Amino acid sequence: MKLTHRLALYLQEWQGKRAGWILLAGISLGLVVLSHYVLQVYGYMRPCEQCVYIRYAFIVQAFGALIIALAPRSALAFGIGGVCMLYAGVRGIMSAWQLHRIHTAIHSDEVVFGVRGCSMEAHFDFGLPLDRWLPEWFAPSGDCGLDAPIIPSDVVLSGVQKAFVELYANGWYLLPRWEIGTMAQCCLLVFGVCVAIMAACVWLRLWSR
């Protein structure tokens, strides 16, 4: 109980400061930038439909965190930002789980039926045409579960770039040498942690009234 109480006190103090929310927003936006510039542009790993939905969820999550950061102790800012973050977390978990199912099916030795959810046309929530506004960032160009680099025939890789591409020749993994931690699994973890933090903050605010 003492440990739980200490964690609750720490979280209650943390949520009242801007730094923590700015950090969450920075991590979310940083992951989107990393996926685009490092994996997609530099590593030639094409984003799939579920991947661009995950990017969208991270951006909404960052937007929600920044709203709270404007006035962490304001009930209005926390309410609007919290709704954005919870929505983004659930949306991200759904897309990451779908990507995980597809990845598992594709890389399984068994024939798996009934796994759908990958298209070359994105359909974002609320009818947002993000794939038309920012096609480089939000237009699907790859197949779900197949995130290995695809090098154009006219591209000459530098030594470092070639080593990077070869490292992820079998697809993206957190630990590529042992093929541990797929993109979907890591996203599930990040979104799950953020939803848990947000839910705990909501409970603490209601409990402290």
pLDDT band at residue 112 using 50, 70 and 90 as cut-offs: low
5: pLDDT strictly greater than 80: no
Decide: 190 and 31 in contact? Cβ < 8 Å: yes
The model's pTM: 0.92
pLDDT score of 139:
97
| Secondary structure class of 151 (helix, strand, coil) | coil
Average pLDDT over residues 72-93: 95
Residue 172 domain flag: yes
Average pLDDT over residues 74-88: 95
Decide: 172 and 146 in contact? Cβ < 8 Å: no
185: pLDDT strictly greater than 60: yes
pLDDT score of 119:
87
Residue 147 domain flag: no
Tokens of 183: 């993109």
Residue 110 domain flag: no
Task: Please enumerate in sequence order all residues whose Cβ is within 8 A of that of 88, keeping only pairs 6 or more positions apart, or say none.
Answer: 57, 58, 59, 60, 61, 63, 64, 191, 194
The structure tokens 């594709």 sit at 106
Residue 129 domain flag: yes
Residue 142 domain flag: no
Give the residue from 9, 15, 135, 175 showing the smallest Cα distance to 85.
Answer: 15
Report the percentage of the chain scoring pLDDT > 90.
Answer: 76
Gyration radius from the chain CA atoms: 19
Number of domains in the chain: 1
Average pLDDT, the chain: 91
Decide: 187 and 173 in contact? Cβ < 8 Å: no
pLDDT score of 20:
92
Residue 128 domain flag: yes
Residue 177 domain flag: yes
Residue 143 domain flag: no
CATH of the domain at 49: 1.20.1550.10
pLDDT in tens, 49-76: 999 999 999 999 999 999 999 999 999 9
Tokens of 73: 């102790």
Domain range spanning residue 52? 9-105+115-135+157-208
